[in-house]
Chain A
Amino acid sequence: MNWNLFVTELVAGVSHGSVYALIALGYSMVYGILKLLNFAHGDIYMVGSFIGFGIITVFGGPTNLHVNVWLMLFLMFFCAMLGGGLLGVMIERFAYRRLRNAPRIAPLITALGVSFFLENAAQLVLGAQYQSYNAFSWTNSAIALEHFGLPAHAVISYAQVIVIVGAVVLMIFLTLFVQRTQLGKAMRATSFDREAAAMMGIDVDRVIVATFFIGSALAGAAGVFNGIAYQQVWPYMGFQAGLYAFIAAVVGGIGNLPGAVLGGLVIGLAQAFSIGYLSSTFSDAIVFAILIAVMIARPSGLLGRAAVQKV
């Protein structure tokens, strides 16, 4: 067996999967509370990626950066998360809030419209071509894995390490937030039963806004991670990534946060291994097959609990 290929694909899968997992977390949080498929979520990820790109460009471009690299990274993440979060809150306020009690199909179609609008507005303002991120040349240099007892030519780049470590840190913060803080508790309560939570004195509007902000901020961060690791941004990148992330959320069990992470990893690994061992054309088909298989065998996802419909 070719261990080099295996390790390379494993690392690629985990780093891709972490990006999917970050997007899937936002999807899952919003779905858990509003039962809404926010198709625009993938485009928030795209906007976050472009904000990071804009910050690099403002500070002299990737090649002759005239600030400290760590300050740069911090600024990129801070602005992308803030911008993504604000965009998410705006979308909630102007597009979804009035439809909260409408028939289920209305917010879905609105979400489709928001997504389409964001993609094409980005294309109008930013141009349709790929922009090369190429953040810092050192991020692409490989770390030799020989010292860790791994095969000699297996490659992991600094960028992939940043993505994986960064995603794990964000997930830990999110878990602490949801489990330990009062707002997190309110979010869990609202997602469990919105009406009952409102009757217990929880300000549901505030919880929903907070959910959109946090979920969208995670998507913005995912956009920067993607830019650092894969060096390309373009206006239509959000659709595909959002779709994969949503499938990750469904596979893991929608509304379930550990499930979203697990689903992201499953989808990332499946994609990487099918690209490595079969062909890139097949990766979509394999992800689709996983989705169908999970939906037939465990309709509530790998970690989800079966929903009991009350009347």
Chain B
Amino acid sequence: MTEPTDPNTPRVGVDEWVASHEQRRSRRAGIFGVVQRQFERVPSPAFYLGFGIVAALVPVLTSNGYNIRVGFDTLLYMLLALGLNITVGYAGLLDLGYVAFYGFGAYGYAMLASPQFGIHWDTLAVIPLVVVATALLGLLVALPSRRLLGDYLAIVTLFFGQLFVTVYQNGEAMSVLGFTRKYNVTNGPNGIPNIDNFHAFGFHIGSLQAYYYVALVAFLAVLTAVYLVDRSRTGRAWKSLREDPLAAELMGIPVNRLKLIAFACGAGIAGLAGTMFAALNTAVFSADFDVPTLIIVYAMLILGGAGSIGGVIIGAVVVNVSLEVLRTPGHATWVFYVLIVATLVARMRPWRWLAAIVAGTAAFGFAVHAIVSAAWPRGVHGQPAVGGVLGSGLRHWVVLPANPLTIGNVAFVLLVLAVLGVTLLHGWVQKVALIPTLYLAAFVWENRLVVEPSITRLILVGVILIVLMNARPQGLLGTSRVEIV
């Protein structure tokens, strides 16, 4: 049960508490508080400039193609999250068909610059055309639902996204209603191959580094534009719309027009990201623009904090880099254990409890391992995914059956139930229950999750959304919402 609160302290959400919000923030003592206050004094454009410089140095510091490719993807995701930030973060419209606009941009570029129709237009002509067309498509999708509740918009856009995937997947034999002549518009599930590289004024952009810089320049340009819009009249109007549409309308803000503008802007940015995606990959497939991509972009936006530009940057970097790290089981295992210990250090007070839990989990693991190896020797025949010190330690700690499929699946379901159960407990019972839960987590990780990285990453993205929305809806960077009752 929650501890009884002192009736004299201001309660969360009530006027007095709201009024003293700023004071409580500035009262934070200690070195952390000083650092934080100094940090807040730096204007945010300085941070963006710093980010731009660091990002520009990446291809100089590493010549590894894979690293630059990850950087390029991260930039694209940032661009996507920035566009989604306008629709969701500023205007508060839940757009679940967002990746369809990304796909429309990619296919748009592919159709105007590939042998599909024999059209090879200049990039400087294609990109503005595609961006404007995508923005218009966004306008068209938002139009029928502009009068309705946000939920209806969510469902219309979600279905629109599905429709997009279906149409593009089956677009190799389209006919205008009533006519028998079939046209191959999207080449169906085979996608459109052999897309041209970016080319303008006789220059061809071929190398990965060059694409990286193109993406960086595009991102910084969009970032600047979004930053300026954010501080303009339109930006303030969007935020008032998000906080209370009815009040905004009564203040004379043209609510409908602003919703449509927000939608079109988000769609246009997604279209721009799509053109770069198509040009670098030189092929587009409709499966790339399905729900998983949508959820990943949402996770980035939510992790950083919807409505904050810096949050978008951090969210995209954290999510994309960790999803990439998951591909290598050795690295992923390190990250997994470091993350667990870091979470314990951050959340567990006082220190003696932290020490007790870490020691208890270690002892519990060795005990279980000893029992299993005595009772069922085949239960410890597996190999951990990581080598080195950690690997040899794990071999004596975590139970690794020779054939972990079934038992790993059962353990996964048990783990989900155990984690949910732990959140219900309180006090010392919770801390004791944490020990077997942590061990179970390690068991599931070693036996099941690390073996299936492609599913694990999607599961983790889902977990990020649920946990963040419940624990810290404002994300990493956002300031907590001050509710006035």
A residues adjacent to B (C-beta < 8 A): 31, 35, 37, 90, 94-95, 98-99, 102-110, 112-118, 120-121, 123-125, 239-240, 243, 246-247, 250, 281, 284-285, 287-288, 291-292, 295-296, 299, 309, 311
B164 CB to nearest A CB, Å: 10
Which residues of chain A have C-beta atoms less than 8 A from B92's C-beta?
Answer: 103, 105
Which residues of chain A have C-beta atoms less than 8 A from B463's C-beta?
Answer: 113, 117
In the complex the two chains form, is A309's CB within 8 Å of B246's CB? yes
Closest 9 CB pairs of A and B: A113-B465, A117-B462, A116-B462, A113-B466, A110-B469, A281-B170, A120-B458, A125-B409, A120-B459
Which residue from B160, B166, B298 sits with its C-beta under 8 Å from A112?
B298
Closest to B306 in A: A105
The range of chain B's interface size is: 35 or more
In the complex the two chains form, is A109's CB within 8 Å of B469's CB? yes
Given contacts A104-B150, A288-B160, A292-B144, contact A124 B170 (CB under 8 A): no
Given contacts A37-B151, A105-B150, A112-B298, contact A288 B163 (CB under 8 A): yes
In the complex the two chains form, is A94's CB within 8 Å of B423's CB? yes
14 contacts between A and B (CB under 8 A): A37-B151, A37-B154, A98-B470, A99-B473, A103-B473, A108-B151, A110-B470, A112-B465, A113-B463, A116-B461, A117-B466, A120-B455, A121-B459, A285-B163
Q: Is the interface of B mostly helix, strand, loop or mixed?
A: helix
- Among B16-24, B323-331, B362-370, B412-420, the stretch in contact with A: B412-420
Which residues of chain A have C-beta atoms less than 8 A from B226's C-beta?
Answer: none
Which residues of chain B have C-beta atoms less than 8 A from A246's C-beta?
Answer: 155
In the complex the two chains form, is B459's CB within 8 Å of A124's CB? yes
Answer whether residue B15 sits at the interface, using C-beta atoms and an 8 A cutoff: no
Which residues of chain B have C-beta atoms less than 8 A from A287's C-beta?
Answer: 159
B208 CB to nearest A CB, Å: 31
Answer whether residue B147 sits at the interface, using C-beta atoms and an 8 A cutoff: yes
Q: How far is the CA of A287 from the CA of B409 in the complex (A)?
A: 38
Closest to B150 in A: A104
Closest to B141 in A: A292
B residues adjacent to A (C-beta < 8 A): 88, 92, 94, 96, 144-145, 147-148, 150-152, 154-156, 158-160, 162-163, 166-167, 170, 246, 291-292, 295, 298, 302, 306, 409, 412-413, 416, 420, 423, 448-449, 452, 455-456, 458-459, 461-466, 469-470, 473, 481
Which residues of chain A have C-beta atoms less than 8 A from B452's C-beta?
Answer: 124
Given contacts A94-B423, A120-B459, A125-B413, contact A99 B470 (CB under 8 A): yes
Known pairs A104-B151, A112-B298, A113-B465; list 4 more (Cβ under 8 Å): A94-B420, A243-B155, A243-B158, A295-B145
Q: How far is the CA of A113 from the CA of B465 in the complex (A)?
A: 5
In the complex the two chains form, is A102's CB within 8 Å of B246's CB? no
In the complex the two chains form, is A284's CB within 8 Å of B166's CB? yes
Q: How far is the CA of A31 from the CA of B152 in the complex (A)?
A: 12
Which residues of chain B have C-beta atoms less than 8 A from A295's C-beta?
Answer: 144-145, 148, 152, 156
Which residues of chain A have C-beta atoms less than 8 A from B170's C-beta?
Answer: 281
Which residue from B160, B162, B448, B470 sits with its C-beta under 8 Å from A95?
B470
Q: How far is the CA of A247 from the CA of B449 in the complex (A)?
A: 35
Q: How far is the CA of A103 from the CA of B159 in the complex (A)?
A: 23
In the complex the two chains form, is A124's CB within 8 Å of B412's CB? yes
Which residues of chain B have C-beta atoms less than 8 A from A243's C-beta?
Answer: 155, 158-159, 162
Q: How far is the CA of A311 from the CA of B448 in the complex (A)?
A: 52
Which residue from A35, A102, A113 sits with its C-beta under 8 Å from B473?
A102
Q: How far is the CA of A90 from the CA of B423 in the complex (A)?
A: 13
B7 CB to nearest A CB, Å: 22
Given contacts A109-B465, A239-B291, contact A291 B459 (CB under 8 A): no
Which residue from B154, B156, B416, B473 sits with its C-beta under 8 Å from A292?
B156
In the complex the two chains form, is A114's CB within 8 Å of B160's CB? no
Which residue from A99, A250, A281 sits with its C-beta under 8 Å from B155?
A250
Q: How far is the CA of A94 from the CA of B298 in the complex (A)?
A: 21
A50 CB to nearest B CB, Å: 12
In the complex the two chains form, is A281's CB within 8 Å of B167's CB? yes
Closest to A121 in B: B459
Which residues of chain A have C-beta atoms less than 8 A from B462's C-beta?
Answer: 113-118, 120
Q: How far is the CA of A287 from the CA of B159 in the complex (A)?
A: 9
Given contacts A37-B155, A98-B470, A299-B147, contact A112 B167 (CB under 8 A): no
Q: How far is the CA of A292 from the CA of B462 in the complex (A)?
A: 30
Given contacts A37-B154, A243-B158, A246-B155, contact A116 B295 (CB under 8 A): yes
B71 CB to nearest A CB, Å: 26
